Amino acid sequence: MTLPETAANPSAADRTFQVDLRGLVDLLSHHLYSSPRVYLRELLQNAVDALTARYALEPAAPADAFGVRLYADGSVVRVEDDGVGLTEADVHRFLATIGRSSKRAERIAEERGDFIGQFGIGLLSCFLVADEIHVVSRSARAPGAPAVEWRGRGDGSYTVRTLPASARPRPGTTVTLTPRGDAGEWTRPAQVHALARHFGSLLRHPVTFDDGTGGPGAPVNPEPAPWARAYPTPGTRSRALAAYGEEVFGFTPLDTIELDLPAVGLKGIACVLPEAVPAGRRHGHRVHVKGMLLSEQAEEILPEWAFFVRCVIDAESLRPTASRESLYEDDTLAAVRDALAERLRAWIARAAASDPDLLARFLQAHHLAVKSLAVHDDEILRMLLPWLPFETTDGHTTLDEFARTHRTVLVTSSVEEFRQVAAIASAAGLGVVNGGYTYDRELVHRLPEVRPGNSVADLDPATLTAHLDPVDRETELAASAYLARARDALAVFDCDVALRAFQPASAPALLVDSREARHERTRSQLAREQEGGLWGDILGALRQEAPRAQLILNQLNPLVRAALAIDEPELARTSAEALYGQAALLSRRPLRPAESSLINRSFLDLLAHALRKDS
Ligand SMILES: Nc1ncnc2c1ncn2[C@@H]1O[C@H](COP(=O)(O)OP(=O)(O)OP(=O)(O)O)[C@@H](O)[C@H]1O
């Protein structure tokens, strides 16, 4: 078999991709970078990477031997570094080749982790504010090589020429931008200074800023990161960290937790928010990599439950994405997230064990966050469940306090059930917790794991009714006519009526109406509506007799006593409907349309009756 002779066909020869630089810059500015201001971050980052490479070349050089100088006078922005610099060959290879980076060249692959950049596109961000990038550089690797000048333009063209050594006597690189008219917002001297401080305040090499008005350059990062400074006492240290947190986030932290994970070279602080945040709302954290601020909105460094803190961290080995505004979701990030979560747990444990005041303030603000955490975390549950606040028949109290007075803790399954029974249950000496809020019922049921002496049971209507005193036979008999009328009036709601004596006497009636009973009624109603059809048969077959709503009238209540004595059938009926309506309103559950119209009607009937009586 012979192969077709493609090589002879000139149209099949290998060609090189053409890059439309303007299109590429447009793509970056709209889809990669959040704002043109990132040009300064990229220039700073290149300068810092160049210093890192220079120190690798000259490890004996003193720590402050090399630095970065920024200059902006309104007409140019210049970033000058004492870094490793570039030879002419480097300029062709790295500056003029989009997507190529010296920071992942093979021979230094093992050192790549030392650099912030790696994609070989960062420099293009300068085209967001200028049409030309001017670079003069001299290599520290080849001290004898001449200085080299590169001019790259936004249309994709560039020039390179060598310059006499005097043009750049020492190794390093100077990048100069002449901003476009529309980029003044990002290139004014004050703005350049502010951006440098914003991105570079934690950089570990000295960076200065000069606005061209004379005098020495102002330091951009005069001090090391607050956690890297030495303090005379632990108290001064924690106050300084709290002050830093306040400066960065604008709130006074409830407490400041130091973060330190040597394995990934991570240091920083977590500031505990002094006020509750809506559950599930995640706050962004400030993430620096090798001192450079990457993101103010990084969510991924902590698990979702940690929404009660905001962190500032500086890490060596987290990998930024090409936009630099988020982090690669890799194993390191997962390990960092776990380790930081562990640190927060340890802080909670310490507060629980030795700082009750701090714990109380923390739980007051963040009990919801802690509840969501305790549901999945046995250790947190064991430490904190007793201290968590719940709504109970003794008011808002901690579970510990409540469990001391009630060996058996009853818990409702909804807020409305709790509203229905709270006053009466507490008068009957029952201890009930409102289990209707997210996590609460689940958590209360786990109380015996922490306090084995206590038991927990769901409160069903039968438990409560069993605690209400029956009335004597005579009273029951005397009330029977009224009760029969009332049952008749409320039959449409599948509601039974009973008479009991219970405290508080001010409560005329209690509507015991469990969720299951309501579902059952809806099912019955549907079955009636669909009678005859297949669906009706199915629903009918599902129908249970058991749960019905029950209106329990309170024989101790003066109004109920008066109602029981009503002879007039219509008025008896209306009063029963009104008592039902009032009890349904008190339960604060959503009313069905028939119930709303019943309340309306009974109110008007009673009004009419009262007016008739007066006239
Ligand atoms: N100040 C500088 N000193 C020395 N070399 C530099 C400097 N600025 C840029 N370079 C060279 O130009 C290359 C391309 O820079 P560019 O900012 O586009 O990408 P990068 O920093 O390598 O990666 P990233 O796209 O992640 O920023 C760098 O890899 C580096 O070799």
Residue 566 exposed, middle or buried by CB count within 10 Å (0-12, 13-18, 19+) = middle
Q: Are residues 403 and 329 in the same domain?
A: no
Q: From the CB of 95, is ligand 1 less than 6 Å away?
A: yes
Residue 345 CA, ligand 1 centroid: distance in Å: 41
Cβ neighbours of 368 (radius 10 Å): 20
Domain boundary residue among 450, 465, 480? Answer: 465
Residue 117 CA to residue 108 CA, distance in Å, equals: 13
Residue 240 CA, ligand 1 centroid: distance in Å: 36
Angle between helices 473-490 and 569-586 (to 10 degrees): 80
Which atom of ligand 1 sits closest to the CA of residue 81? 1
Mutating to test ligand 1, I would choose from 94, 128, 290, 319 the residue with most ligand atoms within 8 A of its C-beta, which is 94
Is 52 assigned to a binding site?
no
CB-based contacts of 201-205 (< 8 A; 24+ apart in sequence): 201/293, 202/288, 202/291, 202/292, 202/293, 202/314, 203/44, 203/48, 203/68, 203/290, 203/291, 203/292, 204/290, 204/291, 205/48, 205/51, 205/64, 205/66, 205/67, 205/68
Q: Does residue 329 have a pLDDT over 90?
A: no
Residue 101 CA, ligand 1 centroid: distance in Å: 6
- pLDDT per position as a tens digit, 104-131: 654 444 445 678 777 778 898 999 999 9
Q: Are residues 101 and 170 in the same domain?
A: yes
Q: Does residue 444 have a pLDDT over 90?
A: yes
Residue 197 CA, ligand 1 centroid: distance in Å: 21
Q: What is the domain count for the chain?
A: 4
At 281, the pLDDT band (50, 70, 90 cuts) reads low
Query: Does 228 fall in a domain?
Result: no
CB contact set of 4 (below 8 Å; sequence gap of 6+): none
Q: Are residues 158 and 123 in the same domain?
A: yes
Does 13 or 169 have the greater pLDDT score?
Answer: 169
Query: Does 5 fall in a domain?
Result: no
Residue 323: its pLDDT value, please? 76
- pLDDT per position as a tens digit, 13-41: 788 777 788 888 777 777 788 789 999 99
Question: At which residue do the structure tokens 């987290």 appear?
Answer: 318
Residue 270 CA to residue 306 CA, distance in Å, equals: 10
Residue 358 CA to residue 360 CA, distance in Å, equals: 5
Domain containing residue 590: CATH number: 1.20.120.790
Q: From the CB of 461, is ligand 1 less than 6 Å away?
A: no
**How far does CA 111 lie from the centroid of its chain?**
35
Going by CA atoms, what residue is nearest to atom 9 of ligand 1?
A: 46
Query: Does 9 fall in a domain?
Result: no
Query: Does 381 fall in a domain?
Result: no
Mutating to test ligand 1, I would choose from 82, 123, 168 the residue with most ligand atoms within 8 A of its C-beta, which is 123
Q: From the CB of 320, is ligand 1 less than 6 Å away?
A: no
Q: Are residues 242 and 192 in the same domain?
A: no
Q: Does residue 6 have a pLDDT over 50?
A: no
Is 221 assigned to a binding site?
no
Mean of all residue pLDDT scores within the chain? 87
Domain that holds residue 323: 236-358
Q: Are residues 25 and 170 in the same domain?
A: yes
Is 46 assigned to a binding site?
yes
Q: Are residues 214 and 79 in the same domain?
A: yes
**Which value does ipTM take for this structure?**
0.97
Residue 190: its pLDDT value, please? 96
Average pLDDT over residues 561-585: 94
Cβ atoms 375, 439 nearer than 8 A = yes
Q: From the CB of 38, is ligand 1 less than 6 Å away?
A: no
At 520, the pLDDT band (50, 70, 90 cuts) reads low
Q: Are residues 532 and 451 in the same domain?
A: no
Q: From the CB of 129, is ligand 1 less than 6 Å away?
A: no
